[in-house]
Amino acid sequence: MQTATAVRQTTARARKRVSEKEILRHEFLTIAEVAILLRVSERTVYNLIYQGTLRATKVTSRVTIIPKDDFCNMIKINEYNRTTGSSRQQGKEDKPLSLPVAKTVKKAAEQEAPKPRRPRSKPKSELKPSTDYKQSVKDTFIDSSELTEPVYTMEEICKKYSYTYGRFYNLRMRYSIPCVKMDGHKCFPRKAVDEAMASEVERLGKDLSEDWYSCFDLMKKYGIGKTQVRRFAMTHGVRMKKMYNRRMYYLKADWDEARKKAEDGSTSTKKGRG
């Protein structure tokens, strides 16, 4: 006695042996026969029926038949025609858009439309006249044959006068210090640099070291911190002023007098290092 699996396998082999010509002799086709003709699975045939592409008649809960004429008409009606991009686009344009989609398309078109150009406003900062010292240093370069006196290199100037490259560049522009290129280095006449430095000190006021202490001077002299220097000056009324580079300076006369009083009145106050 054959098992159910063996029966199904025998039936499947028998179906495969059935030719397409024999199937087309029937006026009514089954789901399995249509699947053989189309070379697809039976589930695909059911999907065609559910989609309305293929007409079928359900005789019983287990028997569904398809007229051969309806099957042939489906093949003829759904004939494949190659469509180009322009024709597909034309079909999309003919189809009316829903209201939300139409609003979105209109908004996108407005954004893509070229906006009117605004009149160009004048620059906020006007160009400086050529007489301004910050305009350029291009006219300060000279030939090495024109220079016979000793020179400084950029590194030597910054080390001697505690300058940065940017700060010296501004000084060079202000006083038009000549520059000459030697062995790949920018060099400047010593006399011109020294005179410019002296003029800069005079421009900023008299030499601060004569009447004023810097914060670093007090920290080094008394061995205290920056906060202690400022606190002592504010407590004892030492006059202060903030000069270029945002450095704080303390009047020597006020500081020495306040320090002397503090040392006489308290043994914990540090005395200056000799």
Q: Which residue has the higher pLDDT, 234 or 114?
A: 234
Does position 125 have pLDDT exceeding 70, yes or no? no
The amino acid at residue 230 is R
pLDDT of residue 206: 52
Count each helix (H run) and each strand (E run) in the chain, helices first: 14, 9
pTM: 0.31
Is residue 268 very low, low, confident or very high in pLDDT (cuts 50, 70, 90)? low
Query: Longest C-alpha distance within the chain, in Å?
Result: 131
Q: Is residue 274 part of a domain?
A: no
Is the predicted pLDDT of residue 3 greater than 50, yes or no? yes
- Answer yes or no: do 199 and 225 share one domain: no
Residue 158 pLDDT > 70, yes or no?
yes
- Identify the residue with better confidence: 216 or 124: 216
At 269, is the pLDDT very low, low, confident or very high (cuts 50, 70, 90)? low
Q: What CATH code is carried by the domain that includes residue 13?
A: 1.10.10
For residue 24, the model assigns a pLDDT of: 81
Is residue 265 predicted with pLDDT exceeding 80?
no
* Tokens representing residue 62 in the block: 């287990």
Distance, CA of 238 to CA of 234 (rounded, Å): 6
The overall average pLDDT reported for the chain is 76
Q: For residue 215, is it within any domain?
A: yes
The pLDDT score that the predictor gives to residue 231 is 92
Residue 150 has pLDDT above 80, yes or no: yes
Give 183 or 100, the one with higher predicted confidence.
Answer: 183
pLDDT of residue 128 exceeding 50: no
d(CA 274, CA 267) in angstroms, rounded, equals 18
Q: Indicate whether 162 pLDDT > 80.
A: yes
pLDDT over 50 (residue 167):
yes
* Strand 240-243 with 185-189, pairing: unpaired
Could you identify the residue written with the tokens 């006399």? Answer: 191
Instruction: Tell me which of 77, 102, 122 is where a domain ends.
Output: 77
Residue 232: predicted pLDDT: 92
Domain's final residue, options 172, 203, 234: 203
Within 8 A by CB and 6+ apart from 107, the residues are none
- pLDDT for position 19: 75
Residue finishing a domain among 156, 186, 203: 203
Of 213, 151, 156, the C-alpha closest to 177 is: 151
Residue 244 lies in a domain: yes
CA atoms within 13 A on the CB side of 227: 0
Is residue 110 included in any domain, yes or no? no
Q: Give the number of domains in the chain.
A: 3
Q: Is residue 90 part of a domain?
A: no
Which tens digit of pLDDT belongs to each residue from 65-122? 888 888 888 888 876 666 665 555 555 555 565 555 566 656 666 766 666 777 666 5
Establish if 71 belongs to a structural domain. yes
Domain region containing 162? 138-203
- Do 70 and 19 sit in the same domain of this protein? yes
Cα–Cα distances (Å) from 179 to 4, 33, 148, 166, 190, in that order, read: 106, 100, 13, 15, 11
